[in-house]
Structure 1
Amino acid sequence: MKATWEKKEGNQGVLSVTVPAEKVDQAIDQAFKKVVKQVNIPGFRKGKVPRQIFEQRFGVEALYQDAVDILLPEAYGEAIEETGIKPVDQPEIDVTQIEKGKDLKFDATVTVQPEVELGEYKGLEIEKQNAELTDEELQEAIDHSLGHLAEMVIKEDGEVEEGDTVNIDFDGYVDGEQFEGGQAEGYDLEIGSGMFIPGFEEQLVGLKTGDEKDVKVTFPEEYHAEELAGKEATFKVKINEIKYKNVPELDDEIANELDSEADSVEEYKENLRKRLAEEKKVKAENDEKEEAINKAVNNASVDIPEAMINNELDRMMQEFAQRIQQSGLDLETYFQISGQDESQLREQMKDDAEERVKTNLTLTAIAEAEEIEATEEDVDKELEAMSTQFNISVEDIKKTLGNTDIVKGDVRVKKVIDLLLDKAKLVEPSKDDEEKSED
């Protein structure tokens, strides 16, 4: 077999393939064996028509399409391997010669993986992330954990405060008329949760059980109900009950409830500090890596074929469908609830899909430029790490994956990202950035 590749404009080219006559005749023979089973000719049992009679009746040309179907997959695959191209979409095939006793010739118009023009990816200035755990962050984590153990207690006397949960009746009016969805009885609302229209919850602070008040608010301009967007409204509200969170004090018993490996408050705090410190360290490193990736990708130039974006969109749609299935929905139900259809959702995802493709292409190009490969030892270490993380044996992981190509690719990408960060220049954040972080 002979194959030649001619690059055309953009990411397309023509793959010209010649298959030897010997293979063509073999394929025609296979085609006959397949077709003759379906042929009915008077005087012959089905499937027993002699080849000569068949060709006299129908012509050998009747076998050409089936022969092409037999030859094309293997010939196209071998041609790709021989020329070293990387197709990203199904080819357009044009058979230019098919005849018994002669070579098969066809041209395949192919869209291939684009070439990436790398920009700067070494020596990138990356903002150094703070990886030190503060006492304030530790206390916030403790308070958050204790909050999960809090019990709701009815406030017999006293006023509504931030963090309280109030049970209310409310009735909403716009221009003096009740509006649909603006009424409820016995509704529990946590003050400060931001669940209601801006300004609503704040006006309940200071009220007592049994109090009534006209709460005046303005619906946001971007409110989901267009007939209410930007409108002023008055809600007649009655406070039925006030409840507050009774947060337990941290003692040895509570510490053990929060962490079964801790027998005292001190042990609990120490274990928590170690865990949070490690989490913050990992997050800081991941944030630095993400910035390095983004800068390397932004510095690169590549003309991405639409087919690659569409393929990535297909993957993203599958991921999205799996996520909503975990919440008990399917795509059809989601579309009904959201008022969207698949084309609208794909359009929303398109920019992210293009960014994903560009990122993958850029990291692959850097790997090739730096001659970075994943060794068998690298793959084995990654499989061991996966085995520990998911509590599955390495052999079972291999069986599930079928082969380790995906793992090998992931390891290669990780090594590229490590290179980007290793070669980067870590700079301290500006004062403005620190103030924003604190805010």
Structure 2
Amino acid sequence: MKAELLKKEGNVVTLKITVDYDKFNGAVEKAYKKTRGRYSIPGFRKGKAPRKIIEMNYGEGIFYGDAIDALFPEVFVPAVEETGILPIGAPSIDVDEISKENGLVMSVEVEVRPEVKLGDYKGVEVTKDVPEVTDTMITEELDRMVEKNSRLVDVERNVEDGDIVNIDFKGFVDGEEFEGGNAEGYELTIGSHTFIDNFEEQLVGKALNEEVEVNVTFPEGYSREDLASKPAKFEVKINAIKVREMPELNDEFAADTTEFETLDELKADIRANLEEQANNMAENQLREELVNKIADAADFITPNAMVEDQLDRMMQDLNYQLMSQGLQMEMLLEITGKDLNGLKEERREDAEKLVRGTLVLDEIAKLENIEASEEDVDAEIAKMAEMYKMEAEEMKKALRPEDLEDIAGQLKVRKTIDFLVENATIA
């Protein structure tokens, strides 16, 4: 096997790979033995016809495709090593020649990892803007705590705005029940605008156990086209009317619901936590801004194959997030009116930034000899073990080799960004 680098345009290279005829013919013979059962030849039992007879009936190249598919991985790896390229995408193959004199000659085009030419990456100016924690933010957090510790109480009066009603309902369009238009024991907060406009308002003033007819019109841009712009009738029964009873916000509340004895101590703790969150957010934004600036100053073409891989990972992450919320990707696409390609295109710019940042950080780590040591990895595993309440050795045994590589890779990136922050000019 011989390999020759013919040309390079941007991140795409073309190789010429030549395989001697005997090796190629051996691959063809293997393909014949593996696939001969597919062919029916008069006078022979299926799978028993000689190779020459099948080639005479179906063409000399009938086994070439299977032979090249089987042979290519075997010759591509040494060709990569011989030419010193770093492929990042799937190669495309053109067969230039097959002959006894020259063997199998292929032109192979593949996208490769770019050569990253860095600009200045030390002394880069970035800002750290820590947002102020205000009294309003503390009040909002206290309000959330009060609501979390509230309880629902049944009341025997007519429905008012802000009440939580338990209802059964059936929906009808053109006199027929429609799919998804009915439920039993549904809890609806009046004024939340969870349902179609004017639905909740028609329940105000109604009594416990009263059966109500609610008439609405689905909006023009409703997600279900079969219901958009159509008038609908709902038969609604009010099973219960409830109000949220809030605890009084005082020292007693702080002592009963938290580790603190007084409301002032609780407020001080909330402020400290919010300030820590604000500082962490500002630090993360600074690190992102720093990497993006260095990536923008670097000179290289962003490899499309890596961007597509990043987009696939982003779609996978999005799918996991939706599943954790009990949703599916198909539902998101229906609601937004987009297809998968549309969602990808919305995120392409972010994917390109991530890819450029990855390549730049890798190059800086190489130049500055930044690595994650075994001690670094063990320390990270110890943190993970503490989080999952496991012994560190037990956690380490549970991890696969690829998991350990992933941890080392993430630590290397973190250490490289730490290095850049230490050498940045921070305003």
Please give the TM-score of this superposition, normalised by the length of structure 2. Answer: 0.68
- 2:257 is aligned to 258
Deviations 1:178-230 (A, max 9, x none): xxxxxxxx97337xx9x999xxxxxxxxxxx9xxxxxxxxxxxxx979xxxxx
Q: Report 1:116-265 matches (<5 A).
A: 116-130=116-130, 141-150=141-150, 165=162, 188-189=190-191, 246-251=246-251, 254-255=253-254, 257-259=256-258, 262=259, 264-265=261-262
- CA gap of 1:346–1:54, structure 2 versus 1, over 3 A, is closer
Matched, 1:413 2:413: yes
Whether the 8 Å CA contact 1:92–1:109 is kept in 2: the answer is: yes
Amino acid of the structure 2 residue aligned with 1:264: E
Is the partner of 2:79 in helix, strand or coil? helix
SS at match of 1:297: helix
**Counterparts of 1:124 and 1:298 in 2: how far apart (Å)?**
12
CA distance in structure 1 between the partners assigned to 2:42 and 2:134 by the alignment: 92
Q: Secondary structure at the match of 2:4?
A: strand
> Deviations along 1:128-168, whole A, 9 cap, x unmatched?
454997888666644542343246899xxxxx9xxx9489x
Amino acid at match of 2:364: I
Name the structure 2 match of 1:319.
Answer: 317
Give the conservation status (yes or no) of the 8 Å contact 2:123–2:424: yes
Partner AA of 2:149 in structure 1: L
Q: CA deviation at 1:362?
A: 2.2
DSSP 3-state at the match of 2:94: strand
2:109 alignment partner AA: T
Distance 1:372 1:269 in 2: 43
CA distance in 2, matches of 1:6, 1:377: 45
Aligned to 2:307: 309
Question: 2:381 touches 2:396 (CA, 8 Å); kept in 1?
Answer: no
> What 5-or-longer segments of structure 2 have no aligned partner?
155-159, 165-187, 198-204, 206-219, 223-240
1:111 and 2:111 equivalent? yes
What residue number does 1:157 align with? none
**Equivalence for 2:86:** 86
1:116, 1:300 within 8 Å by CA — same for their partners in 2? yes
Q: Can you list the C-alpha shifts for 1:223-262, whole angstroms capped at 9, x where unaligned? A: 979xxxxxxxxxxxxxxx998974423335x335533xx2
Report what 2:330 is aligned to.
332
Aligned partner (choices 354, 360, 363) of residue 361 of structure 2: 363
Distance 2:87 2:301 in 1: 15
Match of 1:345 among 340, 343, 346: 343
| Contact 1:3 1:82 (8 Å CA) reproduced | yes
Change (3 A) 1:405 1:19: farther
Distance 1:78 1:60 in 2: 28
Tell me, in whole angstroms, the C-alpha distance in 2 between the residues paired with 1:187 and 1:40. Answer: 71
Q: Please say if 1:71 is aligned against 2:71.
A: yes
**CA shift for structure 1 position 418:** 0.7
- The equivalent position to 1:285 in structure 2, one of 283, 286, 289, is 283
Using structure 1 for the length normalisation, give the TM-score: 0.66
Q: Which whole-Å CA distance do the structure 2 matches of 1:334 and 1:138 have between them?
A: 34
Report if the CA contact (8 A) 1:6-1:14 is conserved: yes
Aligned residue identity for 2:126: I
Q: Structure 2: which amino acid aligns with 1:419?
A: F
Q: Does the 8 Å CA contact 1:146/1:250 hold for their aligned counterparts? A: no
User: How far did residue 102 of structure 1 move?
Assistant: 5.5
**3-state SS of paired residue (1:286):** helix
Residue type at the aligned position of 2:404: T
Distance 1:381 1:78, change over 3 A: farther
**Structure 1 residue identity aligned to 2:190:** D
How far apart are 1:292 and its partner, in Å?
A: 1.7
| Residue 371 of structure 2 corresponds to residue 373 of structure 1 | yes
Per-residue CA distance 1:373-431 (angstroms, 9 max, x = gap): 333333333333333334565346523x745332232222111111111111222xxxx
Residues 14 and 109 in structure 1, CA contact (< 8 A), matched pair in contact too? yes
Contact 2:152 2:242 in 1 (8 A): no
Give the superposition deviation at 1:336.
Answer: 2.2
- Matched-pair contact (CA < 8 Å) for 1:92–1:110: yes
Q: Distance in 2 between matches of 1:289 and 1:404?
A: 25
Superposition deviation, residue 112 in structure 1: 1.8
Amino acid at match of 1:394: M
Of 130-139 and 11-20, deviating more is 130-139
Q: Which amino acid aligns with 2:191?
A: L
Find the counterpart in structure 2 of residue 218 from structure 1: none
Percent identity (aligned): 36
Does the 8 A contact of 1:95 with 1:105 survive in 2? Answer: yes
SS in 2 for 1:120: coil
Deviation string for 1:315-343 (max 9, x for gaps)?
A: 22222222222222222222222222333
Q: How many angstroms does 1:107 deviate by? A: 1.5
Deviation at 1:22, TM superposition (A): 4.8
Could you tell me how far apart the structure 1 residues matched to 2:389 and 2:337 are? 41
Alpha-carbon offset, residue 125 of structure 1? 2.0
SS in 2 for 1:119: coil
CA contact (8 A) 1:165 1:242 kept: no
**Other-structure match for 1:229:** none
What residue is the counterpart of 1:4 in the other structure?
4
* Residue-by-residue CA offset, 1:295-315 (whole Å, 9 max, x unaligned): 222323332244433333222
Distance in 1, Cα, partners of 2:425 & 2:79: 45
The answer for the alignment partner of 1:237 in structure 2 is none
**1:196 to 1:58, Cα distance in 2 relative to 1, 3 A:** closer
